[in-house]
Structure 1
Amino acid sequence: MDRFWTASAWAHRLAGDLLDLLFPPRPAEESLRELLPPFCFRCSAPGFLLCPSCQEILPAFLWARAPYRYFGAVKQGILELKYGKQIDRVPWLADLLEIGFRTYAASFRWDALVPVPLHPVRERSRGFNQAAEIARELGKRQGIPVKKVLLRVRPTPPQAALPRSERRSNLAHAFRPQRNFDLAGKNLLLIDDVITTGATVRECAARLCELGAALICVLAVARS
């Protein structure tokens, strides 16, 4: 009898492990924290109607939004994807991104989703670009093509570690277009996993604007 219950418990545990492998558990959703007003109407920096950066220089994008704060389960899921290489987190993060899409972007006609690029060295080390992965999933769901319009040609230190006065210069000449997609008159939605300082998406939007895009907006899963 003891052997029967031991075998039964082992089989139950094996079945649970197989289910976890086929359907990876999602982070605890009770710790999700929505991004709620007040936030900057251009870049969504919390606590401002128009943040100091946007007062100084308005960005080339019309707006940048995220449905959630970079906290709790969202932060955990993003870190597990980026640094734990847990690619199975992509569908769940795309679920959250799609909530943001329905809230902020569904009323626009988008010609393409444009993932924020990684430098090739970092992308090879990681094995993927997390922004491209979640953009691809959202694109499939919404029927919008994903275009790798930008290249990151210069590696840069993390923006969050720099004072605000150095963030723009840190990203100067960091991006260039691939010229594989005619941007003139196009409506483009930049996609990233998390907006921290906002300087990266500002620089990307500036390059897209120079190439003649008609409308540029930014959507991320989370906002610091």
Structure 2
Amino acid sequence: MARPRRPLLSHERIVETALALVDAEGLAAVSTRRLAAELGVQGPSLYNHVGTKDELIDALVDSVLGEVDTSMFGELTADNPDWRSALRRWAQSYRIAVAAHPNIVPALASGPGHRRNALRMADAVFGGLVAANWPRREATTVGTLMRYFLTGSSLGSFAAGFPADAEVYGDEYPHLNEAHLLADRQQRIDQVAFEVGLESLLDGLESRYQLLLSSQ
């Protein structure tokens, strides 16, 4: 029998299949047995490519983070310190990448660890901020703050959490008399909330940045 033109398994194929499984059913659905069945192989075959489930989850998260654009931070210098635009563009790219795989968000909370794309992103953000005249300690604070905001805004839809049944609210919750309409408008509501939150955060950072510059 002729050998197949491409190997039955590859790291890329395993990650792609596992990510599709997470997208459809959530992180809890990922197991060696289930993934092997999806790939049409025996469980032990996977260990040549992925050692543990934790390593697989790391690979999935890193695959998603690899879609986030960080090139704008490489453009920042002391003479071109437009860190505000860089943070905005990065945040928007991050939101788009993660929104395509919302079930992966809980795994983002553990930090970069050994994930190469996560470390690359942290390095780009920190390096860009320092290049744009943020002190190193402050750059760490800004990066941390942005991570809190981006992770929190990716956890789920606020609007989608309200039942669409108007009778749920009744007279007991008089100020929620239109809450049943939120679910149908969730995309717009969530997007506007993200943009308002991001701009408010950037406004606060701008004030802090100017204060730091004036104190030097």
TM range (shorter): 0.3 to 0.5
After TM superposition, the score normalised by the length of structure 2 is: 0.33
Instruction: Name the structure with the higher strand share.
Output: 1
Give the number of the structure whose residues are more often helix, by fraction: 2
Q: Which has the higher contact order (CA 8 A, sep 6+)?
A: 1
